[in-house]
Structure 1
Amino acid sequence: MRWFETPNFDFVSKRKIAYVISGILLAISIGAILTKGLQYGIDFKGGKEIVLKFEKAVDVTEIRSSLSDPLGSTPEVKLFGSESEVLIRTDNTNTIEEIETVVRSTMSQLYPDNQAETEKTDSVGPRIAEDLKSGGLQAVIYSMIIIFVYILIRFRKWTFSAGAVAALFHDVIITLGAFTLLSDVVNFSLLIDQNIIAAFLTIVGYSLNDTVVVFDRIRENSIVHKGMEFIPMVNKSLNDTLSRTIITSVTTLFVVAVLFIFGGEVLKGFSFALLIGIVLGTYSSLFVASSLVVELDSKTKK
């Protein structure tokens, strides 16, 4: 780790390159969201879910493909706790009893020597789904507003608040874009449900933590080095906190990667969002939030 003992990278001078990279990623993400639309799960669009417990382990890919025709659309199928328990979610409009009959009949044909019993059935109506969607959106928006006020009170400058919130929007929108683009590519579910909203709020908290550490060091250096110009001070603050930022990000990535690999189908989407969010959060705290503070401070002085 000697490489991080006395770093002297000029982060601020690379901000225009970062603007181009972020602009391209944001344009692709927003374009995907507007053209393809967000891929909502049952929680946010309504539907039915059934949990089946088999005597032996089953293959979720086989179950998903075998149920596509009988249910009229490809259902969401995940392992639920063990390799013999399966959660099946579908947006089929029939009653839960009719759907259960179709699912049990299809499973009997697919696995004649592996009997299944229904552990749980549930329905999410369109009204409840709309309420959940509205609640999830409000949770993200209100968290941004509270963060803006918190940063403003703590650092006494609106430029810090604007830089922090812009970086958070940057991370969330690009993550949403990745989910939209990859939803039909990867072999696990990237549908947006309550778990993914929780992941987004976790990303917001993680990214904010990194940003606040940098801002704290900028404030400390502004007191210790009163004669230093603002841009060199920001660079010094980023280099002072670089070791902590990289070590925290790498160790967190290891933990989330293990969760992604061994956590089971149910946690794939959640941990995948965190993987993207940790990388974006580290990048935005180094190149987006502080760079925007520099730009806004310069324009304010002019």
Structure 2
Amino acid sequence: MRWFENPDFDFLKAHKIGYYVSGILLVASIFGILTKGLQYGIDFKGGKEFVLKFEQPVDVIDIRSELTEPLDGTPVVKLYGSPEEVLIRTDNPKDISEVQTLITDKMSEVYPDNPNTVIKTDIVGARFADDLRRGALNAIIFALIVIFIYILIRFKNWTYSAGAVAALFHDVLIVVGIFTFLSDIVPFSLQMDQSIIAAFLTIVGYSLNDTVVVFDRIRENSLLYKTMDHDEMVNKSLNDTLSRTVITSVTTFFVVTILFIFGGEVLKGFSFALMLGVIIGTYSSLFVASSAVIEIQRYKEKA
């Protein structure tokens, strides 16, 4: 299946527009992160968690909605092993016994015919949260380092590694920036927690897969068209892989959109990050990674 028969788009000219688009998005993202700051979830800033057991199954969406006001913030609510057991996490600063009373009283009010008991309580301390935050950052950095080495070994050219890592850094930073700006606007949680970090690593993997396909075609064409100008050869490679890139991106976007619509409140932030990642990852594969390779190659030729 091909959506584009013999495409001949001038990606080299579009790269110049891409420089401005990426530059604006990156500057805006960095500005938002520095001024507004990241919105951390309970995993990364500490909080309290409770496991409640009901006699009958309950709806986590209803519980989350009902507890938002008494807890002065939207809690994390998930099923815990069975439809009758619920895990509730909150960053409410009050004493754990006070918070527990707020939760149980509200649940008794909402479910008068469905008694509940607290079977587990725990506190996510600030030190543990700091360790999780540091571990998440290290995971992303380590992933980028491993990817740099992998691309270097596979293509035996550090310019490809630099282009791939630049595109991945570009993708993650822009998604984080968008999360920062939209955290107080959208009607669902965009707080940074472990699921969002998982989404970022998934974005890295998706974007890398697209980028490697493009780089493979660039390498093949560099051997087939040895007399062709390097920039033109890169442009031809992008056109050769365009149909595959677009089809993969569109089908993946459909899947994560369905996950966003029907996956429930808990998966909204995760799936929203993936939706952004598919769009930005596709854009970076075509306009950031390849343009970085071209610019580095020009620099090497001048040096």
Length-normalised TM-score, structure 1: 0.91
Contact 2:65 2:74 in 1 (8 A): no
**CA deviation profile, 1:135-190 (whole Å, cap 9, x unmatched):** 00000001111111111222222221111111101100011011111111112111
Q: Aligned with 1:241: secondary structure? A: helix
Distance 1:18 1:254, change over 3 A: same
Cα distance in 2 for partners of 1:119, 1:268 equals: 28
- Counterpart in the other structure of 1:75: 74
Contact 2:48 2:124 in 1 (8 A): yes
Cα distance in 2 for partners of 1:243, 1:249 equals: 10
- Counterpart in the other structure of 1:66: 69
Distance 1:83 1:251, change over 3 A: farther
- Counterpart in the other structure of 2:228: 228
Cα distance in 1 for partners of 2:275, 2:79 equals: 22
Structure 2, unpaired ranges of 5+:
none
Cα distance in 2 for partners of 1:45, 1:11 equals: 44
Residue 279 of structure 1: how far off its partner (Å)? 0.6
- Counterpart in the other structure of 1:92: 92
Contact 1:76 1:90 in 2 (8 A): yes
Distance 1:263 1:85, change over 3 A: farther
Contact 2:2 2:244 in 1 (8 A): no
Q: Aligned with 1:144: secondary structure? A: helix
Matched, 1:187 2:174: no
Report how many aligned residue pairs link the two structures: 298
Residue 248 of structure 1: how far off its partner (Å)? 0.8
Contact 1:63 1:77 in 2 (8 A): no
- AA aligned to 2:239 is N
Q: Aligned with 2:88: secondary structure? A: strand
- AA aligned to 2:70 is L
Contact 1:75 1:88 in 2 (8 A): no
Contact 1:77 1:89 in 2 (8 A): yes
- Counterpart in the other structure of 1:277: 277
Identity of aligned residues (%): 64
Cα distance in 2 for partners of 1:185, 1:83 equals: 31
Distance 1:108 1:173, change over 3 A: same
**CA deviation profile, 1:187-223 (whole Å, cap 9, x unmatched):** 2111111111111011001101100110010000011
Distance 1:52 1:65, change over 3 A: same
Q: Aligned with 1:121: secondary structure? A: strand
Contact 2:9 2:239 in 1 (8 A): yes
Residue 118 of structure 1: how far off its partner (Å)? 3.7
Distance 1:24 1:87, change over 3 A: farther
Distance 1:64 1:20, change over 3 A: farther
Structure 1, unpaired ranges of 5+:
none
Matches within 5 A, 1:169-248: 169-248=169-248
Cα distance in 2 for partners of 1:274, 1:95 equals: 36
Cα distance in 2 for partners of 1:188, 1:87 equals: 18
**CA deviation profile, 1:86-121 (whole Å, cap 9, x unmatched):** 543222344434321221112333444554444643
Q: Aligned with 2:69: secondary structure? A: helix
- AA aligned to 2:272 is F
- AA aligned to 2:181 is L
- Counterpart in the other structure of 1:24: 24
Cα distance in 2 for partners of 1:124, 1:61 equals: 19
Length-normalised TM-score, structure 2: 0.91
- AA aligned to 1:105 is D
**CA deviation profile, 1:13-37 (whole Å, cap 9, x unmatched):** 1111111111111111111111110
Cα distance in 2 for partners of 1:90, 1:23 equals: 37
Give RMSD over aligned pairs.
Answer: 2.1
Cα distance in 1 for partners of 2:222, 2:262 equals: 46
